[in-house]
Structure 1
Amino acid sequence: MSMNFFLINYIRKKHHFGRYKIVKALIAGHGKELLDIGCGSPAKCVKPGSFLRTAGYGQGIDIVPCKLEFPFKIGNMENIPFENKKFDVITAIEVIEHVDKPKKALDEVYRVLKDQGVFIMTTPNNNLLFRSFWCIWERTVGKEWKDTHLSPLTKSDWLGMIKKSNKFKIEKVIDYWGINLIFKIRKI
């Protein structure tokens, strides 16, 4: 293993776990029923269920089977396998950009979120900085992620889609490392 491999994995872990800490702070005090959409492994250097372990509670869904110490179901963001108004808090960390129909995904989140529930999503900001980084990433160490971003949207695209839905109130938007966005939105 080269020194570059260890350095890249160190940076990736810092990036992922830094987001997890922010998301954990954003969900604090918002209820006991947590669903983490896409709870599997976001990178080979991060174990499945890492955000649920960081939060300390909840259940997860992913399109790939996972062995977790938390309740788990196979599922996806465009067809969430739970009844209406089940969750106080839903998280989707680096997931929504991988779905073909982000509006349908937001509709599904709305459906399973309790009234006044909180949804936290993180996603790349498809700005020039991110596109430059991603172009290099896909051609080098991130080859497994090539062509997986099905909904590459900018901050203004996401804000417009969320506002236009008339289903959520945007409470906070955090620009993370200049390439990622963290949205805290509430069901209205």
Structure 2
Amino acid sequence: MNIRDHQLYKIWNKVPVDYYQTGTKSNILQMAWHHLKINSAKKILKGHQFSKILDAGCASGFMLFKIYQAFPNAKYFGIDVYSKAISYAKKTYPDITFKTAFAHNLPFTNDYFDVILFYETIEHVEDPIKTLKELKRVLKKGGILILAMDSGNWLFRFVWFVWENTKGKIWQEAHLHPFHYTELEEVIKKAKFKIEKKFFTHLGMEITFVLKK
């Protein structure tokens, strides 16, 4: 494990395993942010048929379970390196398969998934290009990778500064790669993904890419 991985483990161990489950009930800002994010994903998925879906960086499975409720006929998988959150997810959402794993070293065969969700995770990984290539490996031809991240615009930077210094102190130093969305687009191209669609949500603070092999 390298130095940055150790840094992230320290951060993860500060995060309650039910952080998203409780935060979206008690904090109106978290509630609004995640509601918009999940609804955006649902709109994309309505236009695609899929039998297997992976959430790479699923934490405790909050978002993946919301997607499962909307589209219950597929097989759902979630991976994350935060083992305590994965243990919580396994107990809380028994109909979904959860594994402790790095996104750059996935325990799945080639061309396995129709859909991969990669939401607000790429900024936390050690090697974004390597990780995207690994996600591409397990994605079926014709499948989609939905990648979302903060846009890095002035409004997000301001909001994140306030959040990190108030309610979100546990996330200080968690962003290994605080991309501007134009930089992220270059990373996507280097990983040889095709950008099928991109759009902004959350008052321009979040950008979503729909990618294909």
Fold-level similarity (TM above 0.5): yes
How far apart, in 1, do the equivalents of 2:63 and 2:43 lie?
A: 21
TM-score between the two structures when normalised by the length of structure 1:
0.85
Counterpart AA for 1:183: F
- Give runs of aligned pairs for residues 38-117 of structure 1, distance below 5 A: 38-41=57-60, 49-56=65-72, 57=74, 58-64=76-82, 65=86, 66-67=89-90, 68-69=93-94, 70-117=96-143
Gaps of 5+ in 1: none
| 1:135 lines up with 2:161 in the alignment | yes
Offset at residue 102 of structure 1 (A): 0.7
Q: How large is the Cα RMSD of the aligned pairs?
A: 2.2
Query: In structure 2, what is the equivalent of residue 19 of structure 1?
Result: 37
Gaps of 5+ in 2: 1-22
Query: In structure 2, what is the equivalent of residue 172 of structure 1?
Result: 197
Query: In structure 2, what is the equivalent of residue 31 of structure 1?
Result: 50
Offset at residue 163 of structure 1 (A): 2.0
TM-score between the two structures when normalised by the length of structure 2:
0.76
How far apart, in 2, do the equivalents of 1:38 and 1:117 lie?
A: 19
How far apart, in 2, do the equivalents of 1:94 and 1:151 lie?
A: 11
Offset at residue 48 of structure 1 (A): 7.5
Segment drifting more, 106-115 vs 71-80:
71-80
Contact 2:24 2:34 in 1 (8 A): no
Structure with more of its chain in helix, by fraction: 2
Q: Deviations over 1:57-97 (max 9, x none)?
A: 42111112232221111112111121111001100111111
Counterpart AA for 1:148: A
Give me the identity figure in percent. Answer: 35
Contact 2:151 2:179 in 1 (8 A): yes
How far apart, in 1, do the equivalents of 2:185 and 2:135 lie?
A: 16
Aligned length: 179
